Amino acid sequence: MNWGKPMSSEYTKAANPDMRLIKANILFNQRKKDESHLITMDFSDYYGSSYRMTSPALMASFIYVQGGDSLTFSSYGSSNVFSVVHGSGSISSFYDETPFDKFDALAIPFSKEFSVKAKEDCKIYWVTDEPLLNYMGVQPIRESFKPTKYSYRDYVLKEVEFYNSQPNAELHNRNGILLSNEMCPETKTITPTMWALYNEINPGRVQPPHKHNSIALDLCLYAPEKGGVYTLMSDKIDENGNLIHPKRFDWTSGGAFVTPPAWWHSHHNEAEDKAVVFPIQDAGLYTYLRTLQIKFAK
């Protein structure tokens, strides 16, 4: 057997190792014209990784499928969350073939292969925990949650309208719902490793800063074409809960951006129409470990 070489580090010098920080940035994706394809937001070079990753635990991709066409791709993650930006069709996995429409979300456990069939041109945001499993050198051995579809028209919209009709709903830090799975009753998350938030921001509203130890790979499902909707981020706030020297990220429909762990962030809508953001985070894992530590500035 080829044993490893023993190594050690002095504790005070190694307790906070020098590692690449997670940056706040835009997830750019340049679609190829008239062609079905998948674009992975791969930052493995930045992190010095031998495997693909958008963040240390998650990988985000955009799936484009032309109407009447299909696209097949592989996955090695234990959790997969798909959010439909536009279009309709179906997605096949180890479990079955499931139809989808605009703004639907699907959570599907490990499946070596997925196939998207498009009735009309589709754009789908896909996040998987494949990098986390690669880091640990493991493969899924069982179904850890049930495949679940969250229909925008028949479920999500009704749930959001119900919660927003409750007294003082306008005072909530975020104006939406966490999508959860019946196999995750403690964490109340969409999969054991990830959570997904459907969050609306109404015209003229500001959603105050909060922060958490999980990373957020934020998808903007919808923003008015004229602009005026944006997120401000900073690693610091003042004594009044205001962000110090924040970075600004403007929302565009179908665009995505990274909110780093432990960064304060607020959402602003100066437009005349509501906007919707769909952050997918590794917060299922942090919640289970009791280390999420979400905090609200106001």
**pLDDT tens per residue across span 210-262:** 999 999 999 999 999 999 999 999 999 999 999 999 999 999 999 999 999 99
Taken in order of first residue, the domains within the chain and their CATH numbers are 24-149 (2.60.120.10), 151-296 (2.60.120.10)
Higher pLDDT, 28 or 250: 250
Q: For tokens 């997904």, name the residue.
A: 196
Q: For tokens 């940056």, name the residue.
A: 23
Q: Which residues contact 69 (CB under 8 A, 6 or more apart)?
A: 36, 117, 118
Tell how strand 59-65 and strand 122-128 pair up: antiparallel
Q: Given this model, what pLDDT does residue 29 score?
A: 75
Joined tokens for residue 148: 């679940």
The region of weakest confidence among 24-33, 182-191, 230-239, 289-298 is: 24-33
Mean pLDDT of 115-123: 97
Percent of the chain with pLDDT strictly greater than 90: 88
Residue type, 190: I
Mean pLDDT of 103-118: 96
Mean pLDDT of 97-114: 96
Question: How confident is the model over 39-97, as pLDDT tens digits?
Answer: 999 999 999 999 999 999 999 999 999 999 999 999 999 999 999 999 999 999 999 99
Question: Are 40 and 27 within 8 A, CB to CB?
Answer: no
Question: Are 287 and 187 within 8 A, CB to CB?
Answer: yes
pLDDT tops 80 at residue 122: yes
Q: Given this model, what pLDDT does residue 31 score?
A: 79
pLDDT tops 80 at residue 298: no
With H, G, I as helix, E, B as strand and everything else as coil, classify residue 255: coil
Give CA angle at 168 (294, 155), nearest 5°. 75
Tell how strand 247-250 and strand 59-65 pair up: unpaired
Rounded to 5 degrees, φ, ψ at 234 are: -160, 155
Q: Given this model, what pLDDT does residue 110 score?
A: 94
Q: Given this model, what pLDDT does residue 32 score?
A: 78
Query: What letter does residue 196 receive in the DSSP assignment?
Result: E
Q: Given this model, what pLDDT does residue 30 score?
A: 75
pLDDT tops 80 at residue 1: no
Mean pLDDT of the chain: 95
Sign of CA dihedral 258, 251, 29, 177: positive
Q: Which residues of 218-252 are buried (b: 16+ CB within 10 A; e: fewer)?
A: bbbbbbbeeebbbbbbbbebeeeebbeebbebebb
Q: Which strands form 148-150's sheet, in the order they lie side by side? A: 37-40, 59-65, 122-128, 79-86, 105-109, 148-150
Q: For residue 286, how many other CB atoms are within 10 A of its CB? A: 23
Tell how strand 206-211 and strand 295-296 pair up: antiparallel
